[in-house]
Amino acid sequence: MKKRRLWIRSSILFVMVLAIGYTFYNHFSEDRGLVDAGDFAPNFVLEDLDGNRLELSDLQGQGVYVNFWATYCTYCRDKMGYLQEVHDEYAEKGVQIVNINVDETTLQVERHKQRYGLDYPLYIDRNMLVGNAYGVAVLPSVFLIDETGEVVEHEVGGKTREHVLASLDDLVPSSN
């Protein structure tokens, strides 16, 4: 009986050590990717809740505000409210706002969209492929991409409405 208990405890300990090791490897591995100011934004393809496809390279010539968010993130909810107010206005100025959820269920994202009255497209990053390519570790995480595809700035954390609007203003293409 004692040998069986020892075997079970050893197995559980082994699995826990393996899980912790994998977590450290994932978070500190150079393969994870990190995009910062001055880098060209990696291309990605995502679908919104209605199945409409978005490829980042299709937005060439426009400023792009890429916002990684989650339904449980208070700062994300605040920022998305600010973005709701100005989404159409900045689209007319040549700035696309791309809101990417970090791998929550479609149901969670749909309920969030309804609860907060969001009428712009929301994309879900399944398996965090895009988030990992960009090195997203903290939410909200925003990448400001100019009309040439270069990352102008990487912003992390909650921001005021004024800061969000200033960031959007910086992305308006010079041709507008």
| 158: pLDDT strictly greater than 60 | yes
More confident residue, 68 or 2: 68
Q: What is the mean pLDDT of residues 17-22?
A: 76
| 31: pLDDT strictly greater than 50 | no
Domain that holds residue 24: 1-32
- pLDDT recorded at residue 32: 45
- pLDDT recorded at residue 28: 55
Band of pLDDT at residue 176, cut at 50, 70 and 90: low
| 9: pLDDT strictly greater than 90 | no
112 and 52 within one domain: yes
Q: What is the mean pLDDT of residues 115-141?
A: 94
- Give Dmax (Cα) for the chain: 77
**Cβ distance 68 to 106 under 8 Å?**
no
**Cβ distance 149 to 123 under 8 Å?**
no
| 164: pLDDT strictly greater than 50 | yes
Q: What is the mean pLDDT of residues 67-80?
A: 95
CATH of the domain at 152: 3.40.30.10
Contacts of 145 (CB under 8 A, 6+ apart): 41, 56, 63, 64, 65, 66, 151, 152, 171
Decide if 50 is inside a domain: yes
List the beta bridge partners of residue 98. 66
Decide if 154 is inside a domain: yes
- pLDDT recorded at residue 3: 82
- pLDDT recorded at residue 30: 46
Average pLDDT of the chain, as a whole number = 91
The tally of CA atoms less than 13 A away on the side-chain side of residue 147 is: 13
Number of domains comprising the chain: 2
42 and 111 within one domain: yes
Band of pLDDT at residue 33, cut at 50, 70 and 90: low
68 and 11 within one domain: no
Q: Is 156 helix (H, G, I), strand (E, B) or coil?
A: strand
Q: What is the mean pLDDT of residues 92-116?
A: 96
Decide if 176 is inside a domain: no
Q: For the range 83-86, what are the long-range contacts, defined as Cβ-Cβ under 8 Å and sequence gap of 24 or more? A: 83/120, 83/164, 84/116, 84/117, 84/118, 84/119, 84/120, 86/165, 86/168
- pLDDT recorded at residue 44: 97
